[in-house]
Amino acid sequence: MKPRSHYWLLIPYLRPHSSTLGVALLCVLGFVLTTPIIAALIGQIATDIGKGNMEALLRLPLIAVFLFLTRGIFQFGQDALMAKVALKIVLDIRRKAYIQLQSLNIDYFETAATGDLVYRLTEDIDRVGEVIHKLFHQFLPCTLQLVAILGYMIYLNWQLTLTTLLIVPVMALLIGWFGERLLRFSRHSQTQISDLSSLLTEVFGGIRLVKAFAAEDYEIERFLQTAEKNRQAKFATERIKAIQHPVVGFLEAMSIVLLFMLGGWQIARGQLTGGQFISFTAAVALIIDPINIATNNYNEFKQGEASVDRVFELMDLQPTVVERPNAIALPTVQGKVEYRNVSFAYPSSHPILKELTLTAQPGEVIALVGSSGAGKTTLVNLLPRFYEPLVGQVLIDGVDIQSVTLKSLRQQIGIVPQDTVLFSGTIAQNIAFGQAHYDLVSIEAAAKVANAHQFISQFAQGYGTVLGERGVNLSGGQRQRLAIARAVLLDPRILILDEATSALDSESEALVQEALERLMKGRTVFIIAHRLATVRGADRILVLEKGQVVEAGTHEMLMDQNSRYARFYAQQFPS
């Protein structure tokens, strides 16, 4: 089945700029109407030269200066205004696409290739802008020029015009045939360059691992294979263009040969003057460039159609977690959390959680332990509504979280992950992440709670220090303490600690653990940990197995039971 084009979806983006487009179109019309006048002027010059009319020849430079100056003004107007509109539309589409991506849920980004998303938001949208620009800047003026010049040619001599147009249907069929193949090859080429972008994003993001495993040759081979596929896809597109140009050029040449044959025959019979033929020939010369531009534009529109389709595929995506129309803002909470008969499964997966019921009282620290795949991370991911349960409810202070706005919910839940994500910007901006306006005094206070103030002060720029990409100029413990400072500044009533100390050395772990203990005071806390040394002080330890709580109690109680938790503990701390 032929893919549906999304070009028609660009129309709403044109409407806000209708007044600018209107002025631009007036400039286009002015520019177009000067074209047949040029052809007529050339014919008149030839006639006057033939007659030796020197008085008329002296007037022609003034007419030509006025004509080409007027034509230049109109051309500037159409070029500048069309470029302005095209760039604004690109900005509008890019803004909407980015907002659309931000509205999608974590499950989409877990499977989407980052490089592909980056390519769609940059190269694909730029290609859409080029299509819009060339549509109004080149294709429309050229099409109108064709109409204007053909009208003048018919006025001069309809027989010569008909001869010139005999090959047009053949050319139209050929252009359409080439265009469809260009679209197919362009779609394949866009996919290949997107794959290449994804590979580069993946490799540069994991360059430490590549170096650690001495996998440079392996990655080079992967890159070369993907780059070769991209080259082949692009070459297929260029080969089609290379075939098209000489074929169309040959047909144009044949039409000119026929023109001269018929024109010479009519002049010999006295049916056409030399001046008229020169004017007609000038019109033909003026029409060739618009035909070539329109042909190239058509090819580019077919190539651009693949980008338009890819951009609007993003626009068509729908989030799996949505706010209800009547959602309310969640007021400041005390921190009571309830899971009522909650079941959950990822798409095409067996159930992760099965009718799980759990209540955490305000200020209670609950540790979740169990083997990988037991459902620990899934359980806490339901709390900020990263996912929706298949059945059951999650409540905070007795309020179903599906009835509140996502922003008000997530602003009251702090998360300190295992792998701290830092963004380009200063240390202060990273601690105050998500806040357009922040107080440096509050940031410094948060950093002190997180045991981060000391190492931050050692930088020459202090809190104004610009971090490298993903914070590579910081140690793991330093990054983790910035994540804690971020949570302290947010001051949430509910806190999720996801393996927050698992990848740290002893010294860093001690500093981070001390900061976490300060952060946890007075909050409802969920701790996910494989290292059981970090959960011994929890108010309750829940052992999960196959999506269900199979043991619950304090560290001492569970050790006395000598069951699953005790076995986990014995494995980590053999006597």
CATH topology of domain 416-490: Rossmann fold (3.40.50)
Closest CA to 331 of 413, 414, 404: 404
Q: Where in the chain do CATH 1.20.1560.10 domains reside?
A: 13-316
Identify the H or E element spanning 545. strand 540-545
* Phi, psi at 136, each rounded to 5°: -90, -30
Core vs surface per residue 339-359: b (16+ CB within 10 A) or e: bbebebbeeeeeebbbebebe
pTM for the whole structure: 0.71
Closest CA to 529 of 556, 490, 550, 503: 503
Closest CA to 181 of 244, 119, 250: 244
Print pLDDT tens along the chain (575 aa): 444 556 788 888 888 988 998 898 898 888 888 877 777 776 666 666 656 666 666 677 777 788 888 888 888 888 888 888 888 888 899 889 888 888 888 888 877 777 788 888 888 888 888 888 888 777 888 888 888 878 877 887 777 777 766 666 666 677 667 766 766 776 677 677 777 777 777 777 666 666 666 677 877 887 888 888 878 877 777 777 777 767 777 776 777 777 777 777 777 777 777 777 777 777 777 777 777 777 777 777 877 787 888 888 888 888 888 888 899 999 999 999 999 999 998 876 788 899 999 999 999 999 999 888 888 889 999 999 999 999 999 999 999 999 999 989 998 998 888 777 787 788 898 888 877 778 899 999 989 888 889 889 998 889 988 886 665 578 878 888 888 888 888 888 999 988 766 555 566 677 877 888 888 888 999 998 777 767 888 899 999 988 888 989 988 898 888 888 888 878 877 75
* Phi, psi at 337, each rounded to 5°: -120, 130
Dist. CA 288–CA 249, nearest whole Å? 10
CB 357 within 8 A of CB 341: yes
Q: Where in the chain do CATH 3.40.50.300 domains reside?
A: 334-412+492-575, 416-490
Beta bridge partners of 356: 342
In the structure encoding, which two tokens stand for residue 240, read together?
């089609």
Residue type present at position 528: I
Identify the H or E element spanning 426. strand 425-426
Q: Which residue has 């990054």 as its token pair?
A: 479
CATH number of 13-316: 1.20.1560.10
CA quadruple 528, 531, 535, 541: dihedral sign? positive
Domain 334-412+492-575 has CATH 3.40.50.300: yes
CB 295 within 8 A of CB 371: no
In the structure encoding, which two tokens stand for residue 85, read together?
């509109």
* Phi, psi at 297, each rounded to 5°: -60, -40
